[in-house]
Amino acid sequence: MLSLEHYNDETKVATKAAIFRERTIQHRQPVASAASPKKALLVTLNERGCVDLAATEIDVRLGASWLPREDVERFVHDLLGVGAGVEIGHVPALGTWYVKGDWDVKRQTANTTDWGTDRCSALDLIEDALKPRNHMLGQFSTELLTLYPGANILVAGKEDFEAANRRKLFSRIATGNWDAVIVTHSGFEHIPPSQETQRRFFEEQLHELEMVKRQHTMQRYLQPDELRKHSLHHFDSWAATFGEPVTAMELSPDGAGYRLNTRFARFINVPELMQMFHQAADVQMAQMLNLPRPTLENDKPAIRNAPPTPELKAFVQELAARADRLKTARVDPRVDNMLKITSEGRKAALDLRLVEPTAGDDPSGKVNLAVENILRIWQETTERRSTQKMGRARTCRSG
């Protein structure tokens, strides 16, 4: 009976339960909207158990380890307009893919004209997209010859590692006086190392696991089973899933201009990466800990500018001229090279006397300005025994 009424102990009044005046059992009402993407995701998982997205809403990169081999195979069949004849293989342990097509597929117009050429077919382009490594061979060669025009370089291509040419290539490498030998990643697979080299490599790998710093190495140490579960234990697969190269303008090594450079500098799929990493790590950010920290004066770092002297400007112009000579003349790398030029540039930017012992002491130089500022702060904070934090010197182009 108590379930049919609501009794108020204070007023000693009983009222009928809702069942006497309205329907208490109703059909389940679906959620029509959500206040945020996170709530929408939770509602979707609760309602359907998975997330359904249209094909145009999914950004898929060829070579991602989570991409099923069968899906890639179906994509290639649809792209070339064939029902069969293409075989896609994936070896997670090596982080590599391979593409095979039968004779009929290779003769298709879509393979040689629509999506490829006679020189590089669509199947070749797809295989390159699945493992973008060998295409760097030409770029490495060009960059090396640009920096060291007089260098004696051997570039080993795919044909050199064919069975008929492999022995000849190894002989050339062993007997030639090469400044550099450039070989693709897949080419190294055809060069068997000695047992001693293999043993040393494994020992270095084990030692590296005790000195983990980078994200992938940390996960290899903490989550090897989780990485293997998602086929991410090989770095190439991990990088294809969570990393993306970025091309940006940067100061050229000789300091005389700017150039485009591509670096592995941006992470993608960060929420998924952090969700996986948080399974093994308790990540605490500074704003979460809210530990007491000294505040910066004026709430920002103090920057002291050191104007370049005429002598420093002349030295930088000389460095630029030396860099140009490396590109246009045959300069012995034992005499001059780009590493030597950039090293001397960094030293001169800090204090010209590091490269020109006869140069005078510049009162407005970086070292003197730093000493002056450090001494002033130390004198002002002697009673508090304060600690100073200083950043390294940077060189900026001007004029």
DSSP class per residue in 194-253: PHHHHHHHHHHHHHHHTT--SHHHHHHHH-HHHHHHTT--SHHHHHHHHEEEEEEEEE-T
Crossing angle for the helix pair 270-277 and 235-242, to the nearest 10 degrees: 130
Q: Which two three-digit tokens encode residue 198?
A: 């293999």
Residue 382 CA to residue 322 CA, distance in Å, equals 48
Domain of 375?
307-380
Residue where a domain stops, chosen among 98, 130, 162: 130
Domain shared by 26 and 62, yes or no: no
Residue 175 in domain:
no
Residue 252 CA to residue 283 CA, distance in Å, equals 37
Residue 161 CA to residue 267 CA, distance in Å, equals 34
Residue 348 in domain:
yes
Residue 44 in domain:
yes
Residue 178 in domain:
no
Domain shared by 44 and 62, yes or no: no
Q: List the chain pLDDT tens, one digit each, 399 residues.
A: 556 777 777 888 888 877 787 776 777 777 878 888 778 888 887 877 777 777 677 777 777 777 888 888 999 999 988 888 888 888 775 567 888 888 888 888 888 888 888 888 888 888 888 877 555 677 777 778 777 888 888 888 777 777 788 788 888 888 888 888 888 766 776 777 777 777 776 666 555 447 534 778 888 888 889 888 888 888 778 877 887 776 766 666 555 566 666 666 677 888 888 888 888 888 887 777 888 877 777 878 777 788 889 999 899 889 888 888 887 788 888 889 888 888 898 899 899 999 998 988 888 888 898 899 889 888 888 888 877 777 655 544 433
Residue where a domain stops, chosen among 130, 153, 182: 130
Domain shared by 26 and 81, yes or no: no
Crossing angle for the helix pair 338-350 and 366-380, to the nearest 10 degrees: 40
Residue 111 CA to residue 394 CA, distance in Å, equals 52
- Surface-to-core class of residue 384, CB atoms within 10 Å of its CB (0-12 exposed, 13-18 middle, 19+ buried): exposed
What pTM was computed for the model? 0.38
Dihedral through CA 348, CA 353, CA 358, CA 363, nearest 10? 110
**For the chain, what is the domain count?**
3
